[in-house]
Structure 1
Amino acid sequence: MPTQKNDALRHEIDAAAEVLRKGGLILYPTDTVWGIGCDATNEEAVARIYALKRSQNKKSMLVLCASADMTVRYVDRAPGIAFEVQEMATSPLTLILPGAAGVAANLIPEEGTLGVRIPDHEFCQGLLRRFGRPIVSTSANITGEPTPKRLPEIAREIVDGVDYVVNPRFEGRPTGKPSSIIAFTEDGGVKVIRQ
């Protein structure tokens, strides 16, 4: 039986990665809530997410990375302490890191930072490793509306606006709430944005 599940998971990861490669949008489960995602290096795909959410708020979009190694390829001024904090985190944690580089320009706010989370989630980790680049993660709602925790709560407009919806059987055990957020400065300064 586990082989069947692994085959199904692999198939789902391949399908989602293919959509991302073509510049498409996916609706997918994460370790927190369901998210809308795209290739974080594709400016057109990122613009489609802003349009779908009816928002231009660059601070509402973060990226998922498979590991600290992947993260440092896309932020070039992150202090070492940030990764130590990440290692010690016992629940989902988004790091706001200085020196965003190599991602779509329309993901980067004026301060030049990038929100990054390393998800503890089988599907997300598999997809990130398969895709090889960061994936945008933003809550699957129209801006200003409540954050849906499960697939059935997501507005039809969002579901219809993406190119691929991941099978909910790969949801895992999400926390059902947004991650904590800690911002870091280049010199190691720390500010808690959301607990």
Structure 2
Amino acid sequence: MAKYFDVHPENPQQRTISGVADLIRSGSLVAYPTDSCFALGCHLGNRDGLSRIRTLRDLDDRHHFTLVCESFAQLGRFVHLDNDVFRAIKASTPGPYTFILRATSEVPKQLLHPKKTVGVRIPDHVVTQALLAELGEPLLSSTLLLPGEDEPLTQGWEIKERLDHVVDAVVDSGDCGTQPTTVIDFSSDEAEIVRRGAGDTARFE
């Protein structure tokens, strides 16, 4: 049975955030809110958590997992950025964007796309930022979009009800939107909009 954490959306309770972070460090798979919609998250090196996300979402090995980062400095450890890409991403973060970039050696091999790329993003969400600050490292994440469904789950109580024996914890801080992130692929010479979601794409057209 999944643990349920009710977190204040503007002033997250530190004790609760610390408890969630401890669960993640111990190998738990957590459903948590972001600035676009709910996501599934686990510790960066959690192979079992990665496998559980693949199974839950029915993902193949060509899916881009996302490293959800607290800051731009943290993001820069895991992906290669040239000057133009640096400026474009810097101008759009924090926000509801996922960027696909060439991965550095800091990214565990089991997370890599066959093209040696990985997704990264910095969310504009108080609770997510508090959790990332407590962890001190990125969350390995994927949108909580179940197979055969067109929209992600957006209500914490519904996630608890439907995934009670599939995830280990649900973090609920109220509404967090229904659209997944906009995904921009910067791994080749020009930006490619892979998915149009919650973020404005004008700067990448």
Give the TM-score category using the shorter length. Answer: 0.7 to 0.9
In the alignment, structure 1 segments of 5+ residues that lack a partner are none
Report how far residue 29 of structure 1 moved: 0.7
In the alignment, structure 2 segments of 5+ residues that lack a partner are 1-7, 197-205
2:16 pairs with 1:15: no
**Residue of structure 2 aligned with 1:143, choices 119, 143, 147:** 147
Greater share of helix: 1
CA RMSD of aligned residues (A): 2.5
Corresponding position of 2:3: none
SS in 1 for 2:178: coil
2:34 pairs with 1:30: yes
- Given residue 33 of structure 1, which amino acid in structure 2 is its aligned partner? C
SS in 2 for 1:127: helix
Length-normalised TM-score, structure 1: 0.83
**Residue of structure 1 aligned with 2:164, choices 159, 163, 166:** 159
Aligned partners of 1:100 and 1:114 also within 8 Å: no
**Residue of structure 2 aligned with 1:178, choices 177, 180, 183:** 180
Alignment CA distance shift 1:177-1:110 (3 Å):
same
**Residue of structure 1 aligned with 2:68, choices 61, 64, 70:** 64
Work out the percentage of aligned pairs sharing the same amino acid: 28
Aligned partners of 2:68 and 2:122 also within 8 Å: yes
Task: Supply the distance in 1 between the matched residues of 2:123 and 2:12 (Cα, whole angstroms).
Answer: 20
Corresponding position of 2:191: 190
Farther-moved stretch of structure 1 (13-22 vs 132-141): 132-141
Alignment CA distance shift 1:10-1:18 (3 Å):
same
SS in 2 for 1:143: coil
Number of matched residues?
Answer: 187
Task: Supply the distance in 2 between the matched residues of 1:20 and 1:86 (Cα, whole angstroms).
Answer: 28
Aligned partners of 1:181 and 1:193 also within 8 Å: yes
Alignment CA distance shift 1:156-1:61 (3 Å):
farther
Length-normalised TM-score, structure 2: 0.79
Report how far residue 7 of structure 1 moved: 7.5
Aligned partners of 1:183 and 1:190 also within 8 Å: yes
- Given residue 163 of structure 2, which amino acid in structure 1 is its aligned partner? I
